[in-house]
Amino acid sequence: MVEIRLSGPGKNALGVALMADLTRQIQAAAGQPLLVTGEGDAFSAGLNLAEVLAADTEAMLGFLHALEGLLRALYLHDGPTAAAVNGHAIAGGCLVAMCCDVRVATDHPRARIGLNEVALGLRFPPALLRLVQARISPAHLDEVVLGGALHDPAGALRLGFVDELSGDPVARARERLGALAAHPREAYAATKRDLRSYEPTAAEERRFVDEVLPVWTSAAIKDRIRGFLTRR
C-alpha cells in the first residue's frame, strides 16, 4: 500500500507544482494500492486561486491540463484507490477524492465537501464534467453541479461525494483499501479499465479551448476571485 498525502499551503491548495508532484507519485506507484489523504486538518481546499488569478491564457491552459493529468492518473490507476477525506474537500480537492474507488470522509460536522465552481462563475472543462457525471447519480447531478454548494459530511454522503463517514477516516479507508487489494490484481485492473472512460473527444477539446478557457481567464472571473480571497 502506498500513501499519498496532499500537502501544501492554503489547506493543501492544488497548484501546478503540487499537482505535478502528485501525478508523479501516482505513476511511480505502478498499480499498487493507493491511499490518498490530506496533511493536517484538510484534504484539499481546492485549486490554488492565487495561481489562477495570476495566470494568462497560456499559463491557465497549462494549469488546467495539470489538473486533468492528475485526475486522469488517479481515476485510471490500475490498482485500488481509497480517499481518506480528513477535512475540507472543495472544488478541485473534491474532484481528487471523487477519482478514488472508495471515499471515506470525516464525520466532523464542520468539514465542507462539494463543487462550488458554478458559484464562482467557472465552467467545468469537458473531461472534468464527464468525471462528475460518472461519479454522481443523475438524481443528484443538478443539485451537485448547478447548486454549487458546499456540504457537511452528512450532506456529502447523501449526494454521493463519499461512500461512508468515520471518526477515523484514514484507518477506515485503509480497511476498505485492503479489502479491494485482496482481489486478483490483473482482473481488478482490467475491469476498472472497462468501466472508465476519461479522454475528451476532439470536439470537446475544441470547445474547451474556445468556450471554457476564456471564462477562466476573463476579467470578471479574476474580479470574483479577488473578492473571494479578500472575504476569506
Residues 196 and 134 sit within 8 Å (Cβ to Cβ):
yes
| Axis-axis angle for helices 126-135, 138-145 (nearest 10) | 130
Q: Quickly tell me which residue has 485500488 as its cell.
A: 80
pLDDT classification of 225: cutoffs 50, 70, 90 = confident
**Element (DSSP H or E) covering residue 3:** strand 2-6
Q: Quickly tell me which residue has 478541485 as its cell.
A: 92
Strand, helix or coil at 161? coil
| Of 57, 50, 125, nearest in space to 95 by CA | 125
Q: The whole model's pTM is what?
A: 0.94
CA pair distance 159, 153, nearest whole angstrom: 10
Please determine, for residue 203, whether its predicted confidence score (pLDDT) is greater than 90: no
pLDDT score recorded for residue 232: 64
Domains and CATH numbers, the chain: 2-231 (3.90.226.10)
Secondary structure of 52-98 as H, E, C letters: HHHCCHHHHHHHHHHHHHHHHHHHCCCCCEEEEECCEEECHHHHHHH
| Of 93, 104, 77, nearest in space to 14 by CA | 93
- Burial label for 107, CB within 10 Å (0-12, 13-18, 19+), is middle
Bridging pattern class, strands 113-114 and 150-151 = antiparallel
| Of 125, 141, 112, nearest in space to 42 by CA | 112
In single-letter form, the type of residue at position 106 comes to T
Rounded (5°) CA angle 164-89-123: 120
The predicted-structure confidence for 127-178, as pLDDT tens digits, reads as follows 899 999 999 999 999 999 999 999 999 999 999 999 999 999 999 999 999 9
The predicted-structure confidence for 46-102, as pLDDT tens digits, reads as follows 999 999 999 999 999 999 999 999 999 999 999 999 999 999 999 999 999 999 999
Residue 209: Cβ within 10 Å count: 12
pLDDT score recorded for residue 200: 77
